[in-house]
Amino acid sequence: MQIKTIFRFRVCRRSLVKNTQRNIRKFSLFFLAVFFLLPAVLVLSGTILSRWELEQCLASLTGGVGEYITWKFLPRYPDFEHYARVLFYTPQFFVVFWNSMKIAVLVLLGQLLLAVPAAWAFAVYRFRFRKILFTLYVVLMLMPFQVTMLSSYLVLDGLHLINTHGAVILPAVFSTFPVFLIYRGFCALPESIIDAARVDGAGEWTIFRQIGLPLASNGILSAMVLGFLEYWNLMEQPLAFLEDKSLWPLSLYLPEIRLDQAGYSFVASVITLIPPVFVFLIGQEYLERGIVASALKE
């Protein structure tokens, strides 16, 4: 009887410890989620605050140093004046919005046409210096923009592309990161399938189109999702290659907004967030599958 009591006590104690640890993890994750969502909540609430309420909330930023900022999460009366100003009275915003969309979409189309065949060639064909060439791709991928900025500027200036969107789009099209990510997806394909298709008389283009692309679609789509998120938020390349502010993307336009235009800035930030969030929500499943597939060994 005493042994059973001790055993039950130990079981209950272990169960209590597991439940306590589980609750601590849940609380920690909830706290972190609230902490990271707080800036987004502040921006959303700022879009419907009236101009007078915003001036009160931000008065400490313009009044001096050492004062605290008081913020209202909910306005006394919701005011959509800032939305109307951005959507109906600020055509410049739609110009820079179109610039961002144009740059991101054209870069992704160019990468789709170049990176996918390059990754297929690295993964399927065995040619001389293949590993050395792929290693150079990886080295280029690891180089920050500051290292290649001067050489890129000289080449683009020789092509008379400075101060055009081509100066931002052309180098991005030849980015090595999508080649690396899609290559790992193609490497997961069994060689026996490709060899069997060749024995059956299928051509290289048929194998690539009917076998390679469908089976490696997760890696391709994950590269496109990551590419859109990256090129939608470009900062350094447009700042270095674009002098005309009418060619700037949203990532450079938003910091130009003054503090007295806070409501306008909040609304512009919310609209700027819509495309990347929409793309991420649609491609989240493919992104996870592509990253998992790229982590598999050959």
Lowest mean pLDDT among 9-18, 96-105, 135-144, 174-183: 9-18
* DSSP conformation class of 212: I
Whether 297 has a pLDDT exceeding 50, the answer reads no
Whether 132 has a pLDDT exceeding 70, the answer reads yes
Instruction: Give the torsion sign (CA, 186, 192, 197, 198).
Output: positive
Looking at residue 60, what is its pLDDT?
A: 59
Looking at residue 12, what is its pLDDT?
A: 61
Q: What is the mean pLDDT of residues 102-118?
A: 92
Q: What is the mean pLDDT of residues 68-87?
A: 74
Considering the chain, what is the average pLDDT of its residues? 81
CA 4 to chain centre: 57
Q: What is the percent of the chain with per-residue pLDDT over 70, rounded to a whole number?
A: 83
DSSP string covering 220-233, please? HHHHHHHHHHHHHT
Looking at residue 298, what is its pLDDT?
A: 45
CA distance 227 to 113: 14
Whether 103 has a pLDDT exceeding 90, the answer reads yes
Q: What is the mean pLDDT of residues 173-197?
A: 84
**Quick one: tokens of 57?**
């909330």
Whether 120 has a pLDDT exceeding 80, the answer reads yes
Whether 173 has a pLDDT exceeding 60, the answer reads yes
Query: Where do the domains of the chain lie?
Result: 2-47, 88-294
CA 66 to chain centre: 36
Looking at residue 7, what is its pLDDT?
A: 47
Looking at residue 209, what is its pLDDT?
A: 85
DSSP string covering 80-119, please? -HHHHHHHHH-HHHHHHHHHHHHHHHHHHHHHHHHHHHHH
**Segment 197-244, tens digit of pLDDT:** 888 888 888 888 888 888 888 888 888 998 999 999 888 899 889 988
Looking at residue 251, what is its pLDDT?
A: 86
Looking at residue 63, what is its pLDDT?
A: 56
One of 1.10.3720.10, 1.10.645.10, 3.40.50.620, 3.40.50.1220 is the CATH number of 88-294, namely: 1.10.3720.10
This prediction has a pTM of 0.80
Lowest mean pLDDT among 37-46, 122-131, 265-274: 37-46
Q: Which residue has the tokens 């100003």?
A: 85
Q: What is the mean pLDDT of residues 165-188?
A: 87
CA 81 to chain centre: 30
End-to-end CA distance of the chain: 58
Residue 59 has, within 13 A of its CA and on its CB side, a CA count of: 7
Decide which of 119 and 13 is more confident.
Answer: 119
CA distance 65 to 61: 7
